[in-house]
Amino acid sequence: MLTTRRPTGMTLNAARASSVASDTWANSTGKERDTESGNDYFGARYYASSMGRWLSPDTDFTLKRILSNPQRWNRYSYVLNDPLTRFDPDGLADFKIFDNYSDSDLPNGGRPDWSALKARAEKMGHTVTIERTTEKNQQALVSSALTTKGTNILIIGHSVLNNLVDRHADGIQLGDHTFMGNGFEPNGNIMMPFPATSAASVTILGCSSFDLGGQFPMTTFTGILDITDHESNSVTDEQAGAAWLASATSKPASQPVDYDAAAAAADSAVHNSKNTVTQGDGTKTNVDQGDRVKVQKP
């Protein structure tokens, strides 16, 4: 958990004025259209809207992934031939996990076996990308995920609290020690704002992270509601994230994600946490007791 104060005499809107550029996207599911060919660029491959098909095959042809649904057997089909209700964010992935905690944040281990969770999800036909966000340009990676339609995003890590009084979460710290949100970094600089999201869902697990829901009004948002001390244990956040992903990917990819069930699984991990933190006087406290995981629907 981090705390920062807004510089005296400066409003956030005034400080940010004229500093935020906007990108222009168009055509199929918000993707960029090549004016010469008329095809839409999805990052991993091109989509021919006139034919309703990809121009190149899906490179992920893992048997465990495709056997869950016969519609996946066609490597050129778009969104399982159901474009009215489904999106394909980039031709490849539908779950993106950003794990921002460092090893020092997780004493005696505490990090889930993300590889096992990924393998289990792929058996159900999902594709999961795990980002241990210690590399540079994490803001660009998170922004790209947020503006990709249909993606389910899970972010785990430190929140940035706006001051020592009301302890309201304004943003998050990424693994490369950059920040995103609607407030100020600990050094007084303005955080990079979250872009207007096109993702199917955003889940952020960290101190008072449910406060960030107002920055994601157009999508399903899940976060931790800190009832008493505005803190959460980093190991508990990781366990809640693992529970959320396991539940969200428990059904075949052809079925809608049950966000309420995923939040309930994360809530159980938080509510039943046995993790403790050592206070300055040496006493151990369970800071998760009473905390809840809540869902905000658009």
pLDDT above 90: percentage of residues in the chain? 35
Q: For residues 202 and 219, what is the distance between their CA atoms, to the nearest angstrom?
A: 7
Instruction: Report which of residues 82 and 165 the model is more confident about.
Output: 165
Q: How many residues does the chain have?
A: 298
Residue 234's SS3 state is: helix
Q: Residues 58-89: pLDDT tens digits?
A: 554 444 444 444 555 455 555 445 454 444 54
The answer to whether 34 touches 42, Cβ cutoff 8 Å, is: no
Q: Which residue has the higher pLDDT, 92 or 95?
A: 95
Q: Quote the percentage of the chain above a pLDDT of 70.
A: 65
Residue type at 52 in one-letter notation: G
- Note the pTM of the prediction, 2 decimals: 0.71
User: What DSSP designation does 122 have?
Assistant: H
Q: What is the CATH number of domain 2-11+92-296?
A: 3.40.50
Looking at every residue in the chain, the average pLDDT score rounds to 76
Q: What is the DSSP string of 54-75?
A: ESS--S---HHHHTT-GGGGST
The pLDDT value recorded for residue 168 is 84
Is the pLDDT at 268 greater than 90? The verdict is yes
Per-residue confidence (pLDDT) for residue 57, from 0 to 100: 58
pLDDT in tens, 96-127: 999 999 888 887 778 999 999 999 998 888 88
